[in-house]
Amino acid sequence: MDATQPAPGDQESLTLRLSEYALGYLHSAALRAAARIGIADHLTDGPRTPEELAALTGVSARHLQRALRLLATREVFREDKDGAFHLTPAAEFLRSDSPTSMRDGVIMLTDETFWRPAGRLEDTVRAGHTVFEEIFGAPFFDHLARAPRAGEAFDTGMAGLSASEDDLVAASCTFPAAGTVVDIGGGRGGLLRRVLLRNPGLSGVLYDQEAVLRHHHLDDPALAGRWEVRPGDFFASVPDGADVYLLKRILHDWSDEDALRILRACRAAMKEGSRLLAIDAVIVRDNAPDLGKTLDVLMMTSLNGRERGEHEFRRLLAEAGLRLTRVLPTPSAMSIVEATAV
């Protein structure tokens, strides 16, 4: 029998699976609705019926029940035999008061800045570049700069995503006992904050656009006197002479040409003994499920960016005058690509 042909009796299950995959966007839509309406926050004291939730949130009970029922098939919420909905371990991360809340991250990832270009993936594949500008009238980051709602959703969402992984990343890195760490494009400073809390001998610089730095999270008494914020353009230059440079979820936003500009700016700023830590998904060539492979398509459709494999990082770093020394896994979806100056 041809190995590509389904065995007798398997055809129905395979066609059902393909139908489920084709309708996957409805799970994303239901997840977005639950996050924006704030359902998880209303279940912290126990289960509630759709009618109770509707009264609290001002939505349609019947329609809410149907959306939550779909999410329950993925173990996001649970419906009991009496029709009430409960929090599940996954739904706990949709609570806005969770220290590692994913609510803002979910809202960002399901925003139209991502799903509209994703809906035109075929056009991207045919053209060899994103059609984001055709949809929104400007490239991704230019659009965020001129669309305050979208820009705020992105900044808040990125901070939310980082909250669930920053300490895992910080714990997986090796830092010197003393010195300076520069977080390049570090957003609101979640990763730098965790690094400084774990390494009391270090000081830090949060380097990003001025509009982003206004919302930083470094005002912690435990970090008093050990940090500064510095605005700038990482394509042009980065602060000189630091011991460690962090690039978390930065290189994947950009094409190889633009990523090389960032890396060369870092190389120019590095002193003897400096290390660069690029923190991104590192793709392995296999057929296993991998969030990095999903993120890669997201980067392709909205930003002309990409996730990279170890060999691609090695080549890119070498072109910038850097040498890849090791790749460290973390308990998150991120890996740490460590490099030094050649």
User: Catalytic residues, which ones?
Assistant: 252
Q: How far apart are CA 233 and CA 210, in angstroms?
A: 10
DSSP output for 8-64:
TTTHHHHHHHHHHHHTHHHHHHHHHHHHHHTTGGGGTTS-B-HHHHHHHHTS-HHHH
Q: Are strands 202-208 and 227-231 parallel, antiparallel or unpaired?
A: parallel
> Which residues does 269 contact at the CB level (< 8 Å), separation at least 6?
237, 238, 239, 240, 241, 242, 245
**Contacts of residue 173, Cβ cutoff 8 Å, sequence gap at least 6:** 195, 277, 328, 336
Could you tell me if 303 and 140 are in contact, meaning their C-beta atoms sit under 8 angstroms apart?
Answer: yes
Is the Cβ–Cβ distance between 322 and 276 less than 8 Å? yes
